Structure formats: C-alpha cells, structure tokens
Amino acid sequence: MTNPLLDFSGLPRFGQIEVKHVVPAIEELLAENRQKLTELLAANDTSSYTWDNLLHPMQGMNDRLSRAWSPVSHLNSVKNSDELREAHKQCLPLLSEYHTELGQNCALYKAIKSIADNEQYELLTPAQKKVISNELRDFHLSGIDLSEDKKIRFKEIRQQLSKLKSSYENNVLDATNGWKEVITDEQLLVGLPDSALAMAKQTAEMESIEGWVFNLQFPSYFAIMTHAQQRDLRERFYTAYATRASDEGPNAGQWDNTENMEQLLDLRQELAQLLGFNNYAEYSLATKMAETTDEVIEFLQQLSEKSKKVALKDIAELKTFAREQLNIDDLQAWDLNYASEKLRQHEYDLSQELLKPYFPEQQVIEGLFTIVKRLYKIDISAVSGVETWHPDVRFYEIKDANGLLRGQFYLDLYARPDKRGGAWMDECIVRYAHQGMVQIPVAYLTCNLTSPIGDEPALFTHDEVNTLFHEFGHGLHHMLTQVDYSGVSGINGVAWDAVELPSQFMENWCWEKESLVLIAKHYQTGEILPDDIFDKMNAARNFQSGLQMLRQIEFALFDFNLHIHYQRNGQPQVQKMLDETRQQVSVMMPPEFNRFQHGFSHIFAGGYSAGYYSYKWAEVLSADAFSLFEEKGIFDECTGENFLHNILEMGGVEEPMALFMRFRGRKPEIDALLRHTGISTEATV
C-alpha cells in the first residue's frame, strides 16, 4: 500500500489520506527515526560529533515526522470523525514515548553537549547555537538528570497528559455539537437580524428540519446572545454553552471534563516537582520571557488595578441602562451581551449588524493582502488545484518583491459541526535548508467565522475581521521567517509569552482609517465605510474596555494561580480556585452553574497552561510596537521593513526582548496598551 502520509514530495495529499494510513505511517517513521539515531550515535565518538554529522540529519528526521503528523492532527481538528479520533488517540502514546526517549537519551545529550563544548562551536551561526542551547535546556526539562525509576515515571506522566488533553478536547467538541434548539415559532426570534435568521434557516434545511436551527457553534450562539429579545431563550443558550462538557446543564455528565482537569493538574504538578520545580508554573516559565512567578502575578495585578475602576464604571452603566431602558432589574450573565449591544447602539448609534455589510469576505481578504503588501512588499495570490479537506478551503502563496516564493497557506474560514471551535494558526511545513534547497513554510489558517448564506457572500462582524487579522499575524510569523534551521524557524523556539506579538500587532490595522478603506466596502454598492460610521467605530472602540480587560485578567490569574497552588491531595480544587479568582477580580459573578473551566481548552488541551497571561504580556509588546507606526505612519516603509527584519523574519534565533529593543529602540512600556484600551495610566481602584 502506498501511504500518502509518507509522501514528502510536496503538500499533504488531503484527497488521498484515509484513517487506515495514520497509525502505520507514524509507526514506520518512529522506527526509522530510532534506527537512524542509533546509527548516528554509533558513527562517531564524543570528540567528533558536529552539527553536520548529528544535528543536521536529526533535523531531517524530525521534519519527516512532523510533516506526517501535522495533517493528521489538523484533520482531527477540522474534519473530526470517530474513526480518525481513534487513530489519533492510538498515536498519542507512541509519539509521547518517542519524544520522552529523545529527551532522556544520555548518549544523545552527551553528543550535543560535546558540540557545545568543542572549540569549533564558535564557528557556528547564531541560529545553530540557539538550537543547541534550546536542546540542552530541553534535555533537563525532559528528565535527563533523573534517576532511572523517576525517568520511567516521567515518561508515564507525559503519556497520560497527552491522552487527557485529547480527551478534554474531544469532550468539548462533542458537547458543542451535542446541543441545539429547533425553533418553529418565529415570535421567539424577535430581535434577531435577517442574517442570523437566514443562517439558522439554512442550517435547518441542511438537516431537513422545519423552522430554524440554532446551535452552540459560535456564530449561531453569539447571534442569540446578542440580539434575541426573548430572555428565557438567551438563558437556555447561555446555560447550554456555559456548562459544556461538565456536570451541569442540559447534558450534565455526558461529556464531563471534571476528572480530566483534576488529573491534568495533578500530573502537571507531579511532573514539575520531579524536575525540581516547586510547581508547574515555574516549569512553564523555563521557556518564557517572564523570569519568575512573582513577576507574572505582579504584572497581572498591576493591570487589574489599572482596569478595575473602569470596569466597575462599565458594569454600573450597563445595570442602569438595563433597568431604565430594557426593564431588566436583575441583570444576569445571559443578559450581558444583549444589554451591551443595546447600550452600544444607544450610546454610539452603532451595531455589528450595521457594520457587517461593509465587511464582505472577498473585500476583507483582498484588503488584508493589500495591507501586508504595503507593509512588507509581499504579494499574495490564490493557487488552484491544491488538494484540501473541504470545498470551502482555499490555498495561497506569498512572494516577495523579487518574485521569490516565501510561504504558502491554507485558509479555512467557516464554522462546521466537525470542526473544533475557535481560531488558530498551525504549522503544516516548517522552513529549513537541506542539501542546498530551502523548504518553503506552509501554514494552516483556521477560523470559525460566519459562512455565506444562500447567494449572499459571507459578511463578517468587525470582531471576526479582528480574528482573521490576528491569525494572519501568526501566519506571517511562520511564513516570512528567513531562518534555515527548523528548531528556531518561524514560531519555533520563540518564547511563548512573545509568540502573540505578531498576531495582536496585526489587529491594529482593523481600526485605522487609512487601512479600513482597503477592507471595508459595502458588498452591494461598493461604498467605502462612511466617515460617520468610522467615527462611531472609533468612539465605541473602548466601549466596556475595563470589563474586557478584567475578563482576560481573570482567565490569566485563574490559570497561573491554578498551576502555582494546586495541591496533589486528591481533592477537587478547580472550581474552588476559580471562585477565589473571581472574588478577587470579577465585578459581576456568574451563576453557580457556570462551568467555564470545563471548556477552557487553551489551558487544559492547548499550549497555554500556566501561560494564558501571554496574551496580555504580548499585548504590551504589540501595542508599544504599533505606537512606532503611529508616530511614523501606519504604512511607513522603513518601519514596516524594520518590523519584518527584526521580528517576523528572525524566528527564535534571539531572545524576544533583544529583538523588540532592536525594533523599538528601547524596552517595552505599558502606557501604549493602556492608552489603546482607554484605561488611564493613573486609573486605580
């Protein structure tokens, strides 16, 4: 059988990949890699290992494994099925065992250390030295210093964590898909815009159901929560969404993540303590910009203090408006989006529905491509005939001013039932040089935006436009790299609390008049976004900024404190610690049945465990970076070139602070973030 996952001659063969290919491909590559490593280590002694005879061939081994696993992992997220999920699940312990083996291979550790200790080390490039430095660090984080019995336990923990994370994510997906509401009485849908009704009608028709179907896919859920006048309808949807994968709500216990969370945290703490850290948060910071847990807590508390007074004012205004204008005397969690949208319309005569006709998909994408061309002198064009996993997926390539191919990407924009929620960029192929050839980086850019309805194009909310720009920023970081060593190419090797810099940075061009004229044109008339609407957008930009800031700080503090203070005593602690964080930070407590943590995939199934603070940390960097464009002009050629060369192209070769200072000319300052969010630098409780 020819296995398409083992064909590395080009892009993944999505039209040919079947579930039966998955496990055999991974098993074959792992066996090959083990054999190859044995041969590499046997071919030399500790005085003769070099980059060329050890690390370079290992780079090729790792790349082949990554290129086979990447489409499998991606398909599991965007075209999930029971069969694929099972194959994916079978591979997780195999991969975990392999990577732990590498991290605990004493012969390999000594070989790489011998390269670092050799006098020829100074002749290596900065990128090669950084790869070696990261490798030696990661050996210690993988248990190279442990006794044999502790190494065995470390390996067991890594395998269990891999399985638990997958189980958690699957539960969230199943719970999201496991609830919907069929509505046949149009009176229940008063307040909903025509676009939301048409989307729900289209969903019903696809399922051969009379009436309208609303579900927990975010565009559908958000429409109900933002526009439905029926308060009990909003309450039902809020309850279903806020209790996904938990012991509460309409599907209580069916896909319950309670035990997954407790086990994940227990094992993370055990792993960290095996390695000599006091807690998992300390372990997490070993690969981040922040140096101590106190530094992170102080940073979040500083932002909290700056934001809370503004947030208290925001919630007081909302409660007054709800009581006086909407006859809601007891504002509840399921009223927040609805009342906020009404208040926004009242204060600024502005709504997302008013904006949507100005953000048709094609115009937004063309405008985005024009913006990055003006910033970085790159051209983006569609490529036809590429195999994808769904008819809606498109493929593009990026070329520089000299016509040189710099990167390629898949764009998957719309929400679907077999696709996990949220938005993300992931690596398909990583740039690295081999035998005089450079492997071009390829990215997956995935969103869950509003899809086209009937013959109408997809019309995005401004928030959805922000999401697209955010993920494209990640994509540029991956694709525009000029680093030829995969370990520090693109986003690889970049400190996790700096990896959001390019993504949050890109969002700024969704707010500037000079860039908005490129992305905002009425889908029927071609009219550029009128000045009066732009003025309203700017006036409303920091609407409820205190509440929004405090919400993110609540998530970050919960995550970080959880990974500092979780005790391995067999007692449930997650809900208790979330309640304590909310008592400290929140200005409006959610209902007791709320189980937000059961769907908090970022920290329980993604890469943000003890790292969710990174969003705010990097937002300081991104706001301060953009302030230079505000000074010079948002399309200033020299500033764009400066950001390209010092941030986007550099990957993880140097520490993020050094790169930022080279771009900005100084260390980052918090003032730009507080100014952009409308929170005064003097604002305290």
Supply the pLDDT for residue 685.
Answer: 33
Which token pair is 514? Answer: 């000079």
List helix spans (H) across 118-193: 126-141, 148-177
Of the CA atoms within 13 Å of residue 609, those in its CB half-sphere come to 23
User: Do 648 and 476 contact (CB within 8 A), yes or no?
Assistant: yes
Average pLDDT, the chain: 96
Residue type, 163: K
Cβ-contact 448, 422 below 8 angstroms: yes
- Quote the CA–CA distance of 286 and 263 in Å, as a whole number: 23
Please choose, from the candidates 27, 102, 100, the residue with its C-alpha nearest in 3D space to the C-alpha of residue 59. Answer: 102
Q: Are 560 and 296 in contact (CB under 8 A)?
A: yes
The strand pairing partners of 382, in sequence order, are 396
**C-alpha to C-alpha distance for 98 and 58, rounded to whole angstroms:** 14
For position 1, what pLDDT does the model report? Answer: 63
CA distances 112 to 98, 376, 428, 483, Å, are 18, 37, 27, 21
* Number of Cβ atoms within 10 Å of the Cβ of 41: 16
Q: What are phi and psi of 534, to 5 degrees?
A: -60, -45
| Cα 107 to the center of its chain, rounded Å | 36
Sign of CA dihedral 618, 167, 557, 275: negative
Measured between its terminal Cα atoms, the distance across the chain in Å is 67
- CATH class of the structural domain 357-540: mainly alpha
Q: Rounded to whole angstroms, how far apart are CA atoms 609 and 599? A: 14
Cβ 492 vs Cβ 479: under 8 Å: no
Residues contacting residue 292 through CB under 8 Å, at least 6 positions apart = 285
- Coil, strand or helix: which one is 433? strand
What's the CATH number of domain 258-348+545-612, 3.90.1150.10, 1.10.1060.10, 3.90.180.10, 1.10.1370.10?
A: 1.10.1370.10
How far, in Å, CA of 554 to CA of 593, rounded?
A: 18
Q: How many CB atoms lie within 10 A of CB 638?
A: 9
pLDDT tens per residue, range 136-169: 999 999 999 999 999 999 999 999 999 999 999 9
Tell me if 484 sits within 8 A of 254, measured CB to CB: no
Cα dihedral across residues 181, 187, 191, 193: positive or negative: positive
Give the active site residues. Answer: 471
What pLDDT was estimated at residue 682?
A: 44
d(CA 414, CA 611): 28
Q: Give exposure, 322-338, as e/b (b: 16+ Cβ within 10 Å).
A: beeebebeebbbbbbbb
CA distance 427 to 445: 9
For the chain, which residues make up each domain, given as ranges? 4-145, 178-242, 258-348+545-612, 357-540
pLDDT tens, position by position, 164-216: 999 999 999 999 999 999 999 999 999 999 999 999 999 999 999 999 999 99
Cα–Cα dist 123/134, whole Å: 18
d(CA 551, CA 557): 10
SS3 262: helix
| Helix/strand/coil percentages in the chain, nearest 5 | 60, 10, 30
What angle separates helix 293-325 from helix 614-632, to the nearest 10 degrees? 80
Helices 19-42, 56-78: crossing angle, 10 deg rounding: 160
Asked, colleague to colleague, whether 4-145 and 357-540 share their fold, the answer is: no
Query: For 156, how many CA atoms within 13 A lie in the half-sphere containing its CB?
Result: 9
- Beta strand spans in 9-127 (E): none
Q: Which amino acid is at 470?
A: H
Neighbouring C-beta atoms of residue 370, cutoff 10 Å: 14
> Within the chain, which residues score under 50 in pLDDT?
681-685
Give the Cα separation of 217 and 416 in Å (integer): 8
d(CA 274, CA 292): 19
pLDDT recorded at residue 557: 98
Phi/psi at 398 (5° precision): -120, 130
The correct CATH number of 4-145 out of 3.40.50.720, 3.30.420.40, 1.20.1050.40, 3.20.20.140 is: 1.20.1050.40
- Closest among 267, 237, 6, 247 to 156, alpha carbons compared: 267
The size of the chain, in residues, is 685
Q: Are 334 and 231 in contact (CB under 8 A)?
A: yes
- Neighbour-count burial of 208, counting CB atoms closer than 10 A to its CB (0-12 exposed, 13-18 middle, 19+ buried): exposed
- The number of beta carbons lying within 10 Å of the beta carbon of residue 668 is 22
Q: In the structure encoding, which two tokens stand for residue 448, read together?
A: 């869950």
Residues 487, 651, 634: CA angle, nearest 5 degrees: 165
